[in-house]
Amino acid sequence: MSEALEEMFLFGEEKMEKAVAQMKKEFASVRTGRANPGILDKVVVEYYGAPTPIRQMAQVGVSEGTTLVITPFDKSIMKEVEKAIIKAELGVAPNNDGTCIRLNFPPLTEERRRETAKEVKKFGEDAKVAIRNVRRDMVDDLKKIEKDENLPEDMVKDNQDKIQKLTDKYVGIIDSAVSEKEKEVMTV
Protein backbone atom coordinates (compact mmCIF):
# COMPACT_ATOMS: atom_id res chain seq x y z
CA MET A 1 0.00 0.00 0.00
CA SER A 2 1.31 3.44 -0.89
CA GLU A 3 2.24 5.99 1.73
CA ALA A 4 -0.61 8.27 0.61
CA LEU A 5 -3.15 5.47 1.16
CA GLU A 6 -1.77 4.64 4.61
CA GLU A 7 -1.89 8.30 5.56
CA MET A 8 -5.48 8.58 4.30
CA PHE A 9 -6.59 5.60 6.41
CA LEU A 10 -4.78 6.85 9.54
CA PHE A 11 -6.24 10.32 9.17
CA GLY A 12 -9.74 8.96 8.44
CA GLU A 13 -9.72 6.61 11.42
CA GLU A 14 -8.47 9.42 13.68
CA LYS A 15 -11.39 11.62 12.56
CA MET A 16 -13.86 8.78 13.20
CA GLU A 17 -12.39 8.29 16.69
CA LYS A 18 -12.92 12.01 17.35
CA ALA A 19 -16.57 11.78 16.24
CA VAL A 20 -17.17 8.92 18.72
CA ALA A 21 -15.32 10.81 21.49
CA GLN A 22 -17.44 13.92 20.86
CA MET A 23 -20.64 11.86 21.08
CA LYS A 24 -19.51 10.34 24.40
CA LYS A 25 -18.71 13.83 25.68
CA GLU A 26 -22.27 14.90 24.74
CA PHE A 27 -23.60 11.82 26.57
CA ALA A 28 -21.91 13.03 29.78
CA SER A 29 -24.11 16.13 29.75
CA VAL A 30 -27.32 14.06 29.48
CA ARG A 31 -29.30 13.90 32.71
CA THR A 32 -30.16 10.34 33.69
CA GLY A 33 -31.71 10.84 37.12
CA ARG A 34 -28.40 10.15 38.83
CA ALA A 35 -25.95 12.85 39.79
CA ASN A 36 -23.09 13.02 37.29
CA PRO A 37 -20.33 15.64 37.62
CA GLY A 38 -20.08 15.64 33.80
CA ILE A 39 -23.28 17.67 33.67
CA LEU A 40 -21.26 20.65 34.97
CA ASP A 41 -18.76 20.54 32.08
CA LYS A 42 -20.58 23.29 30.20
CA VAL A 43 -20.97 25.55 33.26
CA VAL A 44 -18.49 28.44 33.38
CA VAL A 45 -18.10 31.12 36.05
CA GLU A 46 -16.69 34.62 35.58
CA TYR A 47 -13.65 34.41 37.87
CA TYR A 48 -11.43 37.52 37.97
CA GLY A 49 -12.64 38.46 34.49
CA ALA A 50 -11.97 35.08 32.90
CA PRO A 51 -14.63 32.45 32.12
CA THR A 52 -13.55 29.43 34.18
CA PRO A 53 -15.12 25.94 34.21
CA ILE A 54 -16.67 25.09 37.60
CA ARG A 55 -14.68 21.88 37.87
CA GLN A 56 -11.42 23.89 37.80
CA MET A 57 -12.44 26.13 40.69
CA ALA A 58 -14.36 23.78 42.97
CA GLN A 59 -14.38 20.26 44.26
CA VAL A 60 -17.34 18.35 42.85
CA GLY A 61 -18.59 15.20 44.52
CA VAL A 62 -21.61 12.92 44.41
CA SER A 63 -23.61 12.30 47.56
CA GLU A 64 -26.26 9.54 47.84
CA GLY A 65 -26.23 9.03 44.07
CA THR A 66 -28.72 11.84 43.41
CA THR A 67 -26.96 14.93 44.81
CA LEU A 68 -23.96 16.83 43.47
CA VAL A 69 -21.98 18.69 46.12
CA ILE A 70 -19.94 21.62 44.78
CA THR A 71 -17.39 23.10 47.19
CA PRO A 72 -15.58 26.12 45.71
CA PHE A 73 -11.92 26.48 46.71
CA ASP A 74 -12.56 30.23 47.15
CA LYS A 75 -15.67 30.77 49.30
CA SER A 76 -16.00 34.39 48.11
CA ILE A 77 -17.31 33.23 44.72
CA MET A 78 -20.25 31.17 46.00
CA LYS A 79 -22.81 33.62 44.58
CA GLU A 80 -21.11 33.66 41.13
CA VAL A 81 -21.03 29.85 41.06
CA GLU A 82 -24.70 29.73 42.02
CA LYS A 83 -25.61 32.27 39.31
CA ALA A 84 -23.64 30.30 36.68
CA ILE A 85 -25.51 27.09 37.60
CA ILE A 86 -28.88 28.85 37.33
CA LYS A 87 -27.83 30.45 34.01
CA ALA A 88 -26.78 27.02 32.62
CA GLU A 89 -30.40 25.78 32.96
CA LEU A 90 -29.53 22.30 34.23
CA GLY A 91 -33.09 21.69 35.34
CA VAL A 92 -32.21 21.72 39.06
CA ALA A 93 -32.12 24.55 41.58
CA PRO A 94 -28.88 25.04 43.54
CA ASN A 95 -29.05 25.03 47.36
CA ASN A 96 -26.33 27.22 48.85
CA ASP A 97 -25.59 26.58 52.55
CA GLY A 98 -22.61 28.93 52.80
CA THR A 99 -19.91 26.25 52.55
CA CYS A 100 -21.08 24.27 49.54
CA ILE A 101 -23.75 24.20 46.86
CA ARG A 102 -25.96 21.13 46.52
CA LEU A 103 -27.79 20.10 43.37
CA ASN A 104 -30.52 17.55 44.05
CA PHE A 105 -31.52 15.56 40.97
CA PRO A 106 -35.08 14.28 41.34
CA PRO A 107 -35.97 11.04 39.57
CA LEU A 108 -36.96 11.61 35.95
CA THR A 109 -40.58 11.19 34.88
CA GLU A 110 -41.38 8.63 32.18
CA GLU A 111 -42.05 11.43 29.68
CA ARG A 112 -38.73 13.13 30.47
CA ARG A 113 -36.92 9.78 30.11
CA ARG A 114 -38.38 9.35 26.61
CA GLU A 115 -37.31 12.90 25.66
CA THR A 116 -33.83 12.23 27.00
CA ALA A 117 -33.66 8.96 25.03
CA LYS A 118 -34.55 10.93 21.87
CA GLU A 119 -31.77 13.38 22.70
CA VAL A 120 -29.32 10.47 23.03
CA LYS A 121 -30.43 9.10 19.63
CA LYS A 122 -29.88 12.55 18.10
CA PHE A 123 -26.31 12.66 19.45
CA GLY A 124 -25.79 9.21 17.93
CA GLU A 125 -27.20 10.32 14.56
CA ASP A 126 -24.97 13.42 14.58
CA ALA A 127 -21.94 11.18 15.19
CA LYS A 128 -23.02 8.85 12.35
CA VAL A 129 -23.32 11.85 10.00
CA ALA A 130 -19.77 12.86 10.98
CA ILE A 131 -18.56 9.29 10.28
CA ARG A 132 -20.26 9.30 6.87
CA ASN A 133 -18.69 12.65 6.05
CA VAL A 134 -15.28 11.19 6.88
CA ARG A 135 -16.07 8.21 4.62
CA ARG A 136 -17.00 10.57 1.78
CA ASP A 137 -13.75 12.51 2.24
CA MET A 138 -11.76 9.25 2.26
CA VAL A 139 -13.42 8.07 -0.97
CA ASP A 140 -12.65 11.46 -2.57
CA ASP A 141 -9.03 11.17 -1.41
CA LEU A 142 -8.86 7.63 -2.80
CA LYS A 143 -10.01 8.92 -6.20
CA LYS A 144 -7.28 11.59 -6.14
CA ILE A 145 -4.65 9.01 -5.18
CA GLU A 146 -5.94 6.69 -7.91
CA LYS A 147 -5.50 9.48 -10.46
CA ASP A 148 -2.07 10.60 -9.15
CA GLU A 149 -0.56 7.12 -8.76
CA ASN A 150 -2.46 5.24 -11.54
CA LEU A 151 -3.69 2.59 -9.09
CA PRO A 152 -5.10 -0.64 -10.58
CA GLU A 153 -8.89 -0.94 -10.50
CA ASP A 154 -8.89 -3.96 -8.16
CA MET A 155 -6.70 -2.09 -5.64
CA VAL A 156 -9.12 0.85 -5.70
CA LYS A 157 -12.05 -1.54 -5.14
CA ASP A 158 -10.22 -3.24 -2.22
CA ASN A 159 -9.54 0.14 -0.61
CA GLN A 160 -13.17 1.23 -1.07
CA ASP A 161 -14.19 -1.98 0.74
CA LYS A 162 -11.70 -1.19 3.54
CA ILE A 163 -13.16 2.31 3.87
CA GLN A 164 -16.67 0.83 4.13
CA LYS A 165 -15.55 -1.74 6.73
CA LEU A 166 -13.96 1.04 8.78
CA THR A 167 -17.17 3.07 8.52
CA ASP A 168 -19.28 0.06 9.55
CA LYS A 169 -17.00 -0.57 12.54
CA TYR A 170 -17.46 2.96 13.86
CA VAL A 171 -21.20 3.03 13.14
CA GLY A 172 -21.41 -0.20 15.18
CA ILE A 173 -19.50 1.43 18.05
CA ILE A 174 -21.92 4.37 17.95
CA ASP A 175 -25.01 2.10 17.85
CA SER A 176 -23.87 0.08 20.86
CA ALA A 177 -22.98 3.24 22.83
CA VAL A 178 -26.38 4.79 22.01
CA SER A 179 -28.32 1.68 23.05
CA GLU A 180 -26.27 1.43 26.26
CA LYS A 181 -26.98 5.07 27.12
CA GLU A 182 -30.70 4.69 26.23
CA LYS A 183 -30.91 1.71 28.56
CA GLU A 184 -29.25 3.77 31.31
CA VAL A 185 -31.72 6.65 30.73
CA MET A 186 -34.79 4.40 30.71
CA THR A 187 -33.77 2.49 33.87
CA VAL A 188 -35.73 3.74 36.87
Q: Which domains does the chain have, with CATH numbers?
A: 3-29+109-186 (1.10.132.20), 37-104 (3.30.1360.40)
In sequence order, the 6+-apart residues with CB closer than 8 A to the CB of 71 are: 58, 59, 60, 61, 99, 100, 101
Element (H, E) at 184: helix 153-186
**Dihedral, CA atoms, 88, 93, 96, 101, nearest 10 degrees?**
-60
Report for 19-33, 38-52, 67-81, 154-168: range of highest mean pLDDT: 154-168
Separation between Cα atoms, residue 85 and residue 81, nearest integer Å = 6
Separation between Cα atoms, residue 155 and residue 161, nearest integer Å = 10
In this prediction, residue 188 carries a pLDDT of 65
Indicate the pLDDT class of residue 1, thresholds 50, 70 and 90. low
93-to-7, 22, 67, 103 alpha-carbon distances in Å: 50, 28, 11, 6
In this prediction, residue 127 carries a pLDDT of 96
pLDDT tens digits along 129-187:
999 999 999 999 999 988 888 888 899 899 999 999 999 999 999 999 999 999 888 87
Torsions phi, psi for 61 (to 5 deg): -135, 165
101 contacts 94 by C-beta, under 8 angstroms: yes
